[in-house]
Chains A and B, each alone.
Chain A
Amino acid sequence: MTGLADTDRISTRNLGSGVVILVAGAAVGLAAFLITVRHGISEWSFAVTFGGLIAIGEMVQFNVYGNRNRAPIATSAALGYAMLRGPALSPPDIAQIITVVGVATMIGVVPRAVAGLQWDVVVSARRVMSVACAAIVFTAVIPVSEGWNGSWRQSMPIILAMLLGVLAAGVTDALIGAGQATERYNRPFPAALRDELVILGQIGMAMGIGAVLLAAGTSLVGLWAPPLVVVPLLLTQFAFRRFASAQRTYRTTVRSMARSTEIAGFSSPGQNARTATLAVAIGNDLGLTPARMEALEYAALLSGVGQLALADPSPGGASLLRTREERQRAAEIGASVIERSGVLDHVAEIVRHSNDPYRHGRANNANIPVESGIVNVALAYEQLVGEGSGQSPDKAMESIGLGIGAEYDPVVVESLRRIVGRGFRF
Chain B
Amino acid sequence: MALGPRTRILPLAVAATAVAAAVSLVLAIGQTEQPFVVAGFCLLALVASALRSVHTERPVELVSVVLAAVYVVAGPAAAVVVAAVGSLAQARAPIIKRVFNSAQRIVSAAAAAVVYAALNGPVGDEVFHRVPDAIIAVTAATFALLLVNALLLTMILGLERGRHAVAEFLRHVVRTTAVPLLGYGLLGLSMAVIWLGGLNIFAAFLILGPLVVARWALSQYAAERRAQSATLRAFIQLIEVKDLYTRGHSERVSAGVGLLGRQLALSEDRQNALEHAGLLHDVGKVGVPTSIIQKPGRLDDSEMDAIRLHPARGVELIGNIPFLEEVKSAVLHHHEKYDGTGYPAGLSGVNIPYFARIIGIVDAFDCLTSTRSYRPARGVEETLAILEQDKRSHFDPELVDAFVQVIRAQGWQAAEVVQPAPDASVQFSIDHDDLSLGEGGGASGSAAGPG
Question: Which residue numbers of A lie inside 8 Å of B, CB to CB?
Answer: 1, 148-152, 154-156, 159, 202-203, 205-206, 209-210, 212-213, 216-217, 219-221, 224-225, 227-229, 231-236, 238-240, 242-243, 245-250, 252-257, 259-260, 263-265, 305, 308-309, 311-312, 333, 337-338, 340-344
Contact = CB atoms under 8 A, between A and B. Distances in A.
Interface centre among B196, B198, B230 (most CB of A within 10 A): B198
Contacts, number: 200
B237 A337 contact: yes
Specify the main secondary structure of chain B where it touches its partner.
helix
Nearest to A223: B131
Contacts of A259: 317
B413 to A, nearest CB: 20
Interface in B295-353: 313, 316-322
Contact of A228 (B135, B210, B287): B135
Given A253-B232, A308-B238, A343 B226 contact: yes
Contacts of B420: none
Nearest to A202: B213
Interface residues of B, number: 66
B389 interface: no
Contacts of A253: 228, 231-232, 321
Interface stretch (B15-23, B217-225, B441-449): B217-225
A235 B198 contact: no
Given A148-B197, A149-B198, A221-B131, A210 B228 contact: no
B198 A249 contact: no
Nearest to B238: A337
Given A245-B322, A252-B320, A257-B232, 13 more contacts: A203-B217, A216-B206, A228-B189, A228-B190, A231-B187, A239-B217, A243-B217, A249-B322, A253-B231, A260-B283, A337-B238, A340-B237, A341-B234
Given A249-B321, A337-B238, A343-B230, A205 B194 contact: no
B197 A150 contact: yes
A202 B216 contact: yes
Given A220-B128, A229-B190, A205 B320 contact: no
Contact of A337 (B216, B225, B227, B234): B234
14 contacts: A150-B198, A155-B197, A155-B199, A205-B213, A206-B214, A224-B132, A228-B189, A232-B210, A239-B221, A246-B225, A250-B228, A257-B235, A264-B286, A341-B227
A209 B132 contact: no
A260 B322 contact: no
Contact of B239 (A242, A246, A308): A308
Interface string B377-419: 0000000000000000000000000000000000000000000
A223 B183 CA distance: 18
B207 interface: yes
B320 A256 contact: yes
B200 interface: yes
A235 B238 CA distance: 39
Interface in B181-202: 183-184, 186-187, 189-190, 193-194, 196-200, 202
B241 A309 contact: yes
A212 B217 contact: no
Interface in B251-281: none
A245 B228 CA distance: 12
Nearest to B196: A150
A249 B131 CA distance: 43
A86 to B, nearest CB: 12
Contacts of B207: 213, 232
Given A225-B193, A235-B183, A264-B287, A159 B199 contact: yes
Interface string B156-193: 00000000000000000000000010011011011001
B34 interface: no
Contacts of B131: 221, 224
A256 B214 contact: no
A152 B200 contact: yes
